Structure 1
Amino acid sequence: MAGTRRNPLLAAALALTVVAAGFAGWGGCSWYAAAHDDSAAYARERDRVLTAGEQAVLNLNTLDHRDVDGGLDSWEASATGELRKQLTDGRGQFEKQIQQAKTVTSAQVLSGAVTELDDRAGRASVLVALRITVTAPTGKPARKESRMLGELTRTPEGWKLSALGQAPVGNTAAE
């Protein structure tokens, strides 16, 4: 009758193996569901919008009189639609103004956020806080902080600015 008796160590090992296999299966299913979840894809698209929006706003707030063509090319490459048309139509005027002023304008992104994203329609909005520095030929550089609202449109080349303006500043709450 000794052969029919079960080994308690073997039974415990078998039970632990079954539990471990169950956890491994559950973990694999959970990972697969998370990897193929729409919210993960939406988060990745939101990150792409933020990166593109911050870079485009930065580009449109940077211009050096020593390389006006390169700066204006960057402006146009960052924009689409009516904004791009305004930039290309005004290019000659921008060139004259920056060459006469002999200024260097640079920007630094302080923070940014996606305020709206309609992935299906290919439209998004961003709010970007910048520190803008304007250096004239004489005098100390002038610095200011600015908040910009940008609207982006998805193009075959990626997300590009279709509108850009100053964000309202101050308390807008009803008193």
Structure 2
Amino acid sequence: MRGSDVTSAWRLTAARAAALLAAGAAAWGGWSWYAAAHDSRAALALTRDQVLAAGEQAVQNLNTLDWSHLDSGLALWDQSTTGDLHTQLAQGRADFTKQVAQARTVTTARVLDGAVTELDPGAGRAAVMVALQITVTPDGGTAAVKQSRMLGQLTRTPQGWKLSALQQAQAQ
């Protein structure tokens, strides 16, 4: 065999090996992508993230209220709740509105941290714990700042996850 024939055969073998390796890598990459896209853990992680975002926002909404914009603040409460909590807020709305208007306070909440503590996507139920910094400022007065931990139950509705129960976490 001549030298150029050996070189050509070697190049052809190397090209075939490179093509085989490239096809194998492409197949493995495609299978890995498909498996990750159809992994139930990915769907559960996405649901968990949605629950946490909805829970943090709803807890913040229910701890924020400006006496001078009561209607819009309470409308946000309505949008953030469902079930028994929604019913309780609606039933006590008139008395609560009167108390807040008389107190003339502005309450704002800022989420410090949050976590999903329970999640049952099949049943459409979840629970969150949210740490807040709450600032209460009376009209013409000095602001009082406190930190609070809230426990919320969420229910999946056609409009998304909403608070169905909310309570103060007990101090430990």
TM-score (norm 2): 0.95
Match of 2:87 in 1: 85
Cα distance in 2 for residues equivalent to 1:132 and 1:102: 16
Q: Secondary structure of the equivalent of 1:7? A: helix
Match of 1:152 in 2: 154
Using the TM superposition, give the Cα deviation of residue 14 of structure 1 relative to its aligned residue in structure 2, in angstroms.
Answer: 1.5
Match of 1:103 in 2: 105
Using the TM superposition, give the Cα deviation of residue 9 of structure 1 relative to its aligned residue in structure 2, in angstroms.
Answer: 2.2
Cα distance in 2 for residues equivalent to 1:138 and 1:67: 16
Q: Secondary structure of the equivalent of 2:140? A: coil
Q: 1:104-136 CA deviation, whole Å, 9 max, x = no partner? A: 000000011100000000000000000000010
Using the TM superposition, give the Cα deviation of residue 46 of structure 1 relative to its aligned residue in structure 2, in angstroms.
Answer: 0.6
Runs of 4+ in 1 over 4 A off after TM superposition: 1-6
Alignment of 1:14-29 (within 5 A): 14-29=16-31
Q: Secondary structure of the equivalent of 2:151? A: strand
| Amino acid in the other structure paired with 2:21 | V
Which moved further from structure 2: 56-65 or 1-10?
Answer: 1-10
Q: Secondary structure of the equivalent of 2:98? A: helix
Q: Which residue of the other structure, out of 103, 111, 114, is the alignment partner of 1:112?
A: 114
Q: Secondary structure of the equivalent of 1:154? A: strand
| Amino acid in the other structure paired with 1:128 | V
Match of 2:47 in 1: 45
Q: 1:84-122 CA deviation, whole Å, 9 max, x = no partner? A: 000000110111011000000000000111000000000
Cα distance in 1 for residues equivalent to 2:165 and 2:141: 33
Q: Secondary structure of the equivalent of 2:12? A: helix
Alignment of 1:30-41 (within 5 A): 30-41=32-43
Cα distance in 2 for residues equivalent to 1:125 and 1:87: 19
Q: Secondary structure of the equivalent of 2:73? A: helix
Match of 1:165 in 2: 167
TM-score (norm 1): 0.93
Match of 1:135 in 2: 137
| Amino acid in the other structure paired with 1:55 | Q
Alignment coverage as a number of residue pairs: 170
Return 5+ residue gaps in structure 2 as ranges.
none
Cα distance in 1 for residues equivalent to 2:25 and 2:42: 23
Return 5+ residue gaps in structure 1 as ranges.
171-175
RMSD: 1.4
Cα distance in 2 for residues equivalent to 1:70 and 1:94: 14
